[in-house]
């Protein structure tokens, strides 16, 4: 039987993450992802995915220093970025720049050092382009700051508040990894040919660029902006549902109950934005949408997904819409590289087949 899109087909074994969509579970290497996001840093979570265990204080500090070492853009990368058309999408810039990182040091087999280099440089690329696009001078990394804090600093030129750092860190830890999603599959397929780590991550970025995978938080922001105030919510949502249109930020291909990442982000959003009118609107829209979705699509179990509260949280820290998907990418690169490393350990070339449905000429047996 054909499984279009390979839905439900198991193509690999993994020890990196576990998802149970019926029960709303997401596990990183044996730990609940929500607990990792609440109690551990980005660096500690990245170490867990790459090494299979939580780090000691010394190991976390070593990884932090390694990430800091590889933050700066090589001069040739700055030259490449400066030659790109200013109207180029940020995801296109990332795809191009990461591809250009693939010098002779990136060969089969992939290594954790390569994963660290790519993870370290991605926020710098994003911040460099964002400031250039806005007509501002790019800001060099600050080696006093941690990975997430430095990313916010390079975007704004100001020391970010602890609340903003922890908010963004929570989001980035929750989006580090999510099983065999489309971009992760792209990375593993490329790696299975014994191509290099850079090629695999470039494939993944190209996949993430598609709006069906990486674009939803921006769409949620557009939706909330269009609704504007609580009094408009029900009429706006009913109009969409009666036209058969999708409500962005609700439902998930995997989760048939509440998305555990959305629950953690909602908790963080309530913590940092108690008096925020935007958050108040988001919470009201969530409540109204879930009620109407049950009315229009009974039994479908359509709950808030991670993108809905990603939009609320990112807005609360003044993150521009066009940075949503690139920031998602800057976190998910950890999961991609972990999968590339795992693929290389027991590599089998991905080679699915297709069923021909076109016309045939008269053929003779040879």
Long-range contacts of 78-81 (CB under 8 A, 24+ apart): 78/128, 81/125, 81/128, 81/129, 81/132
Report how far residue 344's alpha carbon sits from residue 180's, in angstroms, rounded to the nearest whole number. 16
Please enumerate in sequence order all residues whose Cβ is within 8 A of that of 332, keeping only pairs 6 or more positions apart, or say none: 175, 176, 177, 178, 183, 184, 204, 208
- HEC assignment per residue over 123-166: HHHHHHHHHHHCCCCCCCCCCCCCHHHHHHHHHHCCCCCHHHHH
Residue in 177, 286, 307, 342 annotated catalytic: 307
304: helix, coil or strand?
strand
Report how far residue 191's alpha carbon sits from residue 62's, in angstroms, rounded to the nearest whole number. 27
Q: Dihedral sign for Cα 121, 118, 42, 268, please.
A: positive
Indicate if 252 belongs to the active site.
yes
Residue in 252, 286, 339, 342 annotated catalytic: 252
Q: Which residues are catalytic?
A: 252, 307
């Amino acid at each position: 039987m054909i499984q279009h899109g390979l839905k439900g087909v198991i193509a690999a074994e993994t020890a990196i993450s576990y998802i149970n969509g019926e029960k709303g579970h997401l596990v990183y290497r044996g730990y609940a992802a929500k607990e990792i996001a609440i109690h551990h840093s980005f660096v500690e979570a990245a170490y867990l995915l790459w090494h299979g265990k939580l780090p000691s204080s010394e190991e976390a500090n070593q990884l932090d220093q390694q990430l800091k070492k590889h933050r700066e853009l090589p001069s040739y990368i700055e030259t490449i970025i400066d030659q790109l058309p200013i109207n180029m999408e940020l995801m296109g810039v990332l795809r191009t720049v990461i591809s250009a990182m693939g010098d002779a040091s990136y060969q089969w087999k992939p290594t954790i050092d390569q994963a660290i280099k790519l993870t370290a440089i991605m926020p710098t690329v994003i911040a460099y382009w964002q400031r250039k696009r806005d007509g501002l001078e790019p800001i060099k990394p600050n080696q006093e700051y941690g990975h997430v804090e430095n990313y916010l600093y390079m975007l704004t030129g100001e020391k970010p508040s602890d609340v903003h750092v922890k908010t963004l860190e929570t989001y980035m830890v929750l989006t580090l990894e999510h099983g065999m999603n489309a971009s992760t599959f792209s990375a593993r397929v490329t790696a299975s040919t014994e191509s290099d780590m850079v090629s695999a991550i470039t494939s993944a970025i190209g996949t993430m660029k598609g709006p069906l995978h990486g674009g939803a938080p921006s769409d949620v922001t557009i939706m909330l902006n269009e609704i504007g105030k609580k009094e408009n919510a029900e009429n706006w949502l009913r109009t969409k549902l009666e036209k058969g249109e999708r409500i962005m930020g609700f439902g998930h291909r995997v989760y048939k109950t509440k998305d555990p990442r959305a629950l953690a982000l909602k908790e963080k959003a309530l913590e940092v934005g108690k008096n925020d009118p935007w958050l108040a609107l988001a919470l009201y829209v969530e409540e109204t949408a879930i009620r109407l979705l049950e009315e229009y699509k009974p039994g479908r179990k359509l709950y808030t997904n991670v993108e809905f509260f990603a939009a609320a949280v990112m807005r609360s820290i003044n993150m521009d819409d066009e940075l949503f998907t690139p920031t998602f990418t800057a976190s998910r690169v950890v999961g991609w590289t972990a999968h590339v490393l795992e693929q290389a350990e027991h590599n089998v070339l991905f080679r699915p087949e297709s069923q021909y449905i076109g016309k045939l000429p008269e053929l003779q047996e040879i």
